[in-house]
Amino acid sequence: MRGGSVAVVGGSIAGCATALAVSRGGAGKVTVFERADAQLRDRGVGIALHNDRYDELQSAGYVAAEMPWAPLTRRVWSVRDGEAEHGRAVGEQPFPFRAYNWGSLWSELRRRVPEEVDYRSGALVGAVEPDSDGVTLQLADGQRERFDAVIGADGYRSVVREAMFPGLSATYAGYIGWRGTSADVADLPSDGNDAHNVVFPGGHCMIYRIPDGVGGHRLNWVLYTAPPESEDLHPDLKTPTSLPPGRLNSALTAHLRALVADNFPPYWAARVLRTPAETTFIQPIYDLEVPQYTSERMLLVGDAASVARPHIGGGSVKALQDATALEAAAVAGGSWKEIAEAYDTNRGAVGASLVALARRMGSAQVENTPEWGAMGQAEFDAWWQAQNSGSDRNSGFGGHRLK
């Protein structure tokens, strides 16, 4: 990599971290191709980093204290209990996390990308063509550019992954995340430092406070449940996609709003139902594993390599850790082959472990939910422990232990 040319396809959180990693690793020329305009990237959704993972990433130089965040200390799981305003807590657990706004975290990482990196917004890569000692990118505008190596940081619909493993794509998990944010943060319980999980048959909704990027806060929530089996309510979700506000089906939205009204404690139902429609969207949930993270002069990071369901709270952590591991491999490796082998060995097993854990959590928390109303703290603790049984000792809720 030293002195060579490297293309990073994708310029979001994973892409910016990767550009930083390969620059530190000695690449002579780094070009980032991001399909979206900067103005289109920010939906303002929340990201949470476990405190221990934050410390590791701060030490590695990928996050910093000045990045806007909000503290989270406890997670409370609650079920509707008649007309009780906040419902009844079925379980509580420590929650040592830092909450971020996706947009402001991306902005901070984008600001840290070295000036000499050529970051191109609105640059769509249509095809990736490897050869024996390099890779050519075919751009949507007809241009062709060749690089010594190409790194896919382009998410679960990765064009780089398609070149490496044709036909391999993310698999629909059978349920969706309905997400939203609002300015409705006044009078939150525990001064806003708790994450709240409202549970119901067939899913749950996680609600917590995040920075708004301009010195205040927003309420961030995501509701996981399976949509009804009806073509009238949603398009074919099996094809990897996302549904922004303008594409939400009114029948599906009505179904989800009715679910909230019927199953949420009054306080939390009002918070979700008051969320402006223009700040809500649908995120189908997918699984993805790749046979390996590298192939010839191509390499994958973040969701391009593996997609773990969001329940582990480690998606952005994994992308940043992938970049950290790539930097270490680049610094130590004497050739691209050595770099690729070291990186794949480091991250391949981690990705598989996180995907497996996220599947177990998705099964327990959405697909095969318990009888929530019969739970107390002891039953909750046993249920939670069962989801984590068999996990890699370094992987758990919050992501993978880097050190």
173-199: pLDDT as tens digits: 999 999 999 999 999 998 889 999 999
Question: Over the stretch 292-340, which tens digit does the pLDDT of each residue have?
Answer: 999 999 999 999 999 999 999 888 899 999 999 999 999 998 899 999 9
Burial class (CB in 10 A: 0-12, 13-18, 19+), 310: buried
What is the DSSP secondary-structure string of 96-112? EEEEEEHHHHHHHHHHH
Which tokens go with 278? 């223009």
Domain spanning 70-103+173-286, CATH class: alpha beta
| Residue 169 neighbours by CB distance under 10 Å | 17
For residue 44, the model assigns a pLDDT of 63
Q: State the pLDDT confidence band at 213, using cuts at 50, 70 and 90.
A: confident
**Confidence bin at 251 (pLDDT 50/70/90):** confident
Per the prediction, the chain carries an average pLDDT of 91
Distance CA 138, CA 250 (A): 38
Is CATH 3.50.50.60 what the domain over 5-42+106-170+287-368+379-400 is classified as, yes or no? yes
* pLDDT at residue 34, rounded to an integer: 94
**C-alpha to C-alpha distance for 215 and 68, rounded to whole angstroms:** 8
Q: Are 60 and 21 in contact (CB under 8 A)?
A: no
pLDDT digit string (tens) for 137-173?
A: 999 999 999 999 999 999 999 999 999 999 999 999 9
Query: Across residues 108-114, what is the average pLDDT?
Result: 92
pLDDT at 49 over 80: yes
- Max distance between CA atoms of the chain, in angstroms, equals 67
- Taking 3-state DSSP, the helix, strand and coil percentages for the chain, each rounded to the nearest 5, stand at 35, 30, 35
pLDDT of residue 41: 52
What is the spatial distance between Cα 76 and Cα 93, in angstroms, rounded to a whole number?
Answer: 7
| Confidence label for 390 from pLDDT (cuts 50, 70 and 90) | low
Indicate the pTM of the whole model.
Answer: 0.93
Model confidence band, residue 391 (pLDDT cutoffs 50, 70, 90): low
Q: Phi/psi of residue 308, each to 5°?
A: -105, 135
C-alpha–C-alpha distance, residues 318 and 272, integer Å: 29
Residue 362's nearest CA partner among 297, 296, 292, 309 is 309
For residue 264, give the 3-state DSSP assignment. Answer: coil
Span 343-367, mean pLDDT? 93
Give pLDDT tens digits for 124-137: 999 999 998 999 99
Burial class of residue 13 in the structure, from the number of CB atoms within 10 Å of its CB (0-12 exposed, 13-18 middle, 19+ buried): buried
- Can you tell me the distance from the alpha carbon of 68 to that of 29, in angstroms, rounded to the nearest whole number? 31
pLDDT at 38 over 70: no
Q: Residue type at 309?
A: R
What distance in Å separates the CA atoms of residue 125 and residue 35, rounded to the nearest whole number? 7
Is the CB of residue 192 less than 8 Å from the CB of residue 211?
A: no
Distance between CA 108 and CA 13 in Å, rounded? 9
List, as own/partner pairs, every contact residues 263-266 make where C-beta atoms lie below 8 angstroms and the sequence separation is at least 24, other chains included.
263/80, 263/198, 263/200, 263/201, 264/80, 264/87, 264/198, 264/200, 264/205, 265/78, 265/79, 265/80, 265/81, 265/84, 265/85, 265/86, 265/87, 265/198, 266/83, 266/84, 266/85
Judge contact between 384 and 91, C-beta under 8 A: yes
What is the identity of the amino acid at 120? R
Q: How confident is the model at residue 235 (pLDDT cuts 50, 70, 90)?
A: low
Annotated domain spans of the chain: 5-42+106-170+287-368+379-400, 70-103+173-286
Q: Is the pLDDT of residue 40 over 70?
A: no
What is the pLDDT at residue 392?
Answer: 65
Of 129 and 282, which is predicted with more confidence? 129
- Taking the C-alpha atoms of residue 51 and residue 326, their distance in angstroms, rounded to an integer, is 22
Place of tokens 């806060």: 217
On the CB side of 361, CA atoms within 13 Å amount to 25
